Amino acid sequence: MATDNQYSMQNPLTQYPQPEFPDQPQSAPGTVHKLHPAADHGETSYKGFGRLAGRKALITGADSGIGRAAAIAYAREGADIVLNYLPEEESDAREVVQLIEAEGRKAICLPGDLKDERFCQSLVSQAVERLGGLDILVNVAGKQQAVEAIADITTEQFDATFKSNVYALFWLCKAALPHLPAGATIINTASIQSYSPSQNLLDYASTKAAIVAFTKALAKQVIAQGVRVNAVAPGPIWTPLQPSGGQPRDKIPTFGSQTPMGRPGQPAECAPLYVFLATQESSYITGETFGVTGGTPLP
C-alpha cells in the first residue's frame, strides 16, 4: 500500500508494508499487478520540481520496479523519456506511458531484448533520433534467477544473466557515449549483492560486482568529456523480479525482514537517487555507488 505523501515526516519502519507477505509465485518476467501488497512506484507519491526540464532520457526496464519509478520521477521533473522493456511487458509499460504523458512529457516505447547487441545499438540510435538527442542513460533492466547450487546453474542461464546485466550495459554505454554532451550522465544499477552476495544468486551477484567496477572505470574514462557515471545499489526492493524467480518461493513471505528496517524497500524509495544523480545538483559526483538498502551498510 503506497503512502500518499512521501515528503511528510514518517517513521521509515512503518512507512511501507512489512512482512509477512502472501505466497505469490509469478512466471518471469512478472507484472506489477500480481504483487501483494502493491508496490509504490511513485504513481501518487512522487512530486516533481522541474529539476530535469528539457532533458532526454533512455531508461531500460522501464515497465516495472525501479525502472518504472525512475521513469515516473523523471517525467515529473520535466524529462522526455524512451522506455525499453521486453515485448511481453507491454501492458505494464503502457501504464507508465500514460503517467508520463499526463505530465505533458514525451514517452516513446522501444521494446526489445537487451541480450542482442544489434538491438542495443538500434535502441540508442532510435532514442537519439526520436528525442532529438540524449543526455541521460539509465541502465536498470536485469536478470535474476535464484539457484541453490553451482551444479544446477546451466551455461545457458549464466550466459543470459551476463548478457542481460553486463554485456547490455557495455553495448548501451558504448553506443550512447558519442551522443552524450558535456553535462550528461549515465546511471547504472548495481546491488547490495555486489558486496554481500547470497549463495543462491551466484551468477547475478557476480554481474552486479562487475557493474560496480565497470562504473568506476568508465567514470574515470569519460569525465574528460564532461560525462558523469554513477551507480545505485539497492537492497531488497519489492518488485516483480522477486516472486518471478529472483527469490526462492519460500523466501517471499519474509522478503526484506533481514534488513535493519525489517521490510523491503519500495521502487519509489530508489527513484529520488536516480533523479539526484541525473541533475546538476550532483555535479561533483562521479564513479560512486549509492546504497538503498534499508540500513544494511555497503563497504
Residues 91-134 have pLDDT tens digits of 999 999 999 999 999 999 999 999 999 999 999 999 999 999 99
User: Is 226:177 a contact under the CB 8 Å cutoff?
Assistant: no
Q: State how far the Cα of 32 lies from the Cα of 82, in Å rounded to an integer.
A: 20
Residue spans of alpha helices (H) in 9-144: 65-76, 90-102, 117-131
The model carries a pTM of 0.95
Give yes or no: 284 in active site. Answer: no
Instruction: Using alpha carbons only, give the angle 71, 58, 49 rounded to the nearest 5 degrees.
Output: 45
Mean pLDDT of 74-97: 96
Residue in this structure with the C-alpha cell 517471499, named with its chain if needed: 252
Identity of residue 215: T
Contact 108, 82 (CB under 8 A): yes
The pLDDT value recorded for residue 30 is 84
The three-state secondary structure class of 296 is coil
**Confidence class of residue 28 from pLDDT cuts 50, 70 and 90?**
confident
- Mean pLDDT, to the nearest integer, of 136-145? 97
Residue 24, φ and ψ in degrees, nearest 5 = -155, 60
- Cell 525501479 maps to which residue? 66
Name the pLDDT band for 8 (thresholds 50, 70, 90): confident
The residue from 16, 204, 274, 284 that is catalytic is 204
What's the confidence (pLDDT) of residue 186? 99
Separation CA 24–CA 41 (nearest Å): 19
The rounded percent of the chain whose pLDDT value lies above 70 is 98
Residue 4 has pLDDT above 90, yes or no: no
- Report H helices in 103-153: 117-131
Class of domain 50-292 (CATH, top level): alpha beta
Q: How confident is the model at residue 12 (pLDDT cuts 50, 70, 90)?
A: very high
Distances from the Cα of 30 to the Cαs of 169, 233, 251, in angstroms?
A: 22, 21, 17
Statement: residue 205 has pLDDT above 90: yes
